[in-house]
Amino acid sequence: MNVLSVVGARPQFVKLKPVSTALRARGLAETVVHTGQHYDYEMSAAFFEELELPAPDVHLGTPPGPTSAQCGFMIARLGEVIADARPDVVLVFGDTTSTLAGAVAGRYAGVRVAHVEAGMRSFVRTMPEEINRVATDRLSDVLFTASADADRHLAREGRPDAVNVGDVMLDVVRLVGPRTADPPALLREYGLAPGGYALATIHRAANTDDPARLAALLALLGGLGLPVVLPLHPRTRKAAEAAGLDALLAAPALHVTPPLPYVATIALARHARRVFTDSGGLQKEAFYVGTPCTTLRDETEWVETVALGWNVLAGADAAVARASLALPPPPPVDNPYGDGHAALKIAAHLAG
Ligand code: UD1
């Protein structure tokens, strides 16, 4: 059994970690293809180093550009790589341009496609990630899901055959858990104490590409009444600079950093009073390390976190965001996203 794993964006490097480890432990051959969608050191190589990931066997070097151009480039190059490597299955992760390109190229080559984190839906059809999810699930032969909600979505779409393995990101949080027990050094540099700050991230197209919305979000974070550590995604930095929002980024409460390594991010989430984010991954990671979250979107795919009281949907509403800081601690709950052994189940299923 030969697996060709396609990754390209930061969250996929994290998801690859436990899956790659489990595939190899089971004796399956794996070819790792990096599309090059994310290319800055902090967004890519830093994750391969810190998580001790296998170096990619193939790097496609996808040039930056519009989504459709990037997707087309990836499909063309992946077609060649698949013809060469002749895998039994193409494995894709999450909901990025690289995910969809991997699924399309696999199907065109007549190779089985397996999708990790299948069935997530925001039902916002304009969102690039939603387009990628729906199309990838439609093309995939094997659907690995992380939640019962995902299973329900897929069943409604005529796919009752999903394999619920739980969330591979829980595997990774468990793996690095001991390394996040101490507050990260960064906090001392900023003079911040555990519980005395919030961690925030913004990068979704819907939040960055409209200057008024981005300005509202940065003002919201700067006005929470609590220091905020804000690692800035390259997309957000470019959008803020283009929209002339430097003054908002310079707000006294904001500690703006470059994108941070994985363990530091999880440690910052763990020791924060609250997380404010539009990232799907960070919503879950906050939940896994026991920190409540406020989501800077109008909807979430991880609906269980909201239902269980661990996540508040604030959109760009500053009053809702501020009020969420005053909420009592959420109750302890059973984890609806599995037991932290998702990757072992994926490897076992693929091994047949
Ligand atoms: C992508 C995913 C998103 C995921 C996010 C995680 C898609 C459609 N979206 O969004 O689902 O949550 O990754 O980070 O795939 N850039 C750099 N350096 C980098 C990476 C990106 O400068 O290392 C720039 C790109 O050139 C582009 C912008 O940031 O101008 C956005 O990058 P892109 O890969 O298109 O999507 P993300 O916003 O990162």
Q: Is 131 in the pocket of ligand 1 (CB under 6 A)?
A: no
Confidence band of 183 (pLDDT split at 50, 70, 90): very high
Q: Is 38 in the pocket of ligand 1 (CB under 6 A)?
A: yes
Q: What is the DSSP string of 160-228?
A: TT-EE---HHHHHHHHHGGGGSSPPHHHHHTT--TTS-EEEE---HHHHSSHHHHHHHHHHHHTSSS-E
Confidence band of 328 (pLDDT split at 50, 70, 90): very high
CB 35 within 8 A of CB 64: no
| Residue-averaged pLDDT of the chain | 98
pLDDT digits (tens, 9 = 90+) for 276-317: 999 999 999 999 999 999 999 999 999 999 999 999 999 999
Is 115 a residue of the active site?
A: no
Distance 219 CA to ligand 1 centre (A): 23
Q: Is 129 in the pocket of ligand 1 (CB under 6 A)?
A: yes
Distance 65 CA to ligand 1 centre (A): 10
Distance 37 CA to ligand 1 centre (A): 7
| Start-to-end C-alpha separation, the chain | 9
Distance 16 CA to ligand 1 centre (A): 18
Q: Is 128 in the pocket of ligand 1 (CB under 6 A)?
A: yes
The tokens describing 255, both together, are 């500690």
pLDDT of residue 129: 98
Distance 195 CA to ligand 1 centre (A): 30
Give the closest residue to 18 by CA, choosing from 351, 341, 348. Answer: 341
Strand-by-strand arrangement of the 254-257 sheet: 254-257, 228-231, 198-201, 274-277, 293-295, 311-313
Instruction: Give the integer Cα–Cα distance in Å for 246 and 126.
Output: 28
Sole residue written with tokens 């696999």 = 106
Residue 58 has phi, psi (to 5 degrees) of -135, 135
Q: Is 11 in the pocket of ligand 1 (CB under 6 A)?
A: yes
Confidence band of 72 (pLDDT split at 50, 70, 90): very high
* Ligand 1, atom nearest to 64 Cα: 26
User: pTM for the whole thing?
Assistant: 0.98
pLDDT digits (tens, 9 = 90+) for 95-139: 999 999 999 999 999 999 999 999 999 999 999 999 999 999 999
pLDDT of residue 57: 98
CB 115 within 8 A of CB 143: yes
* Ligand 1, atom nearest to 9 Cα: 13
Pocket-testing residue among 70, 235, 238, 300, ligand 1, by greatest number of atoms within 8 A of Cβ: 235
Q: Is 237 in the pocket of ligand 1 (CB under 6 A)?
A: no
pLDDT digits (tens, 9 = 90+) for 6-55: 999 999 999 999 999 999 999 999 999 999 999 999 999 999 999 999 99
Catalytic residue (one of 34, 203, 255, 271): 203
Pocket-testing residue among 60, 75, 96, ligand 1, by greatest number of atoms within 8 A of Cβ: 96
CB 4 within 8 A of CB 33: yes
Whole-angstrom CA distances from 55 to 7, 171, 241 are: 12, 20, 33
Distance 96 CA to ligand 1 centre (A): 9
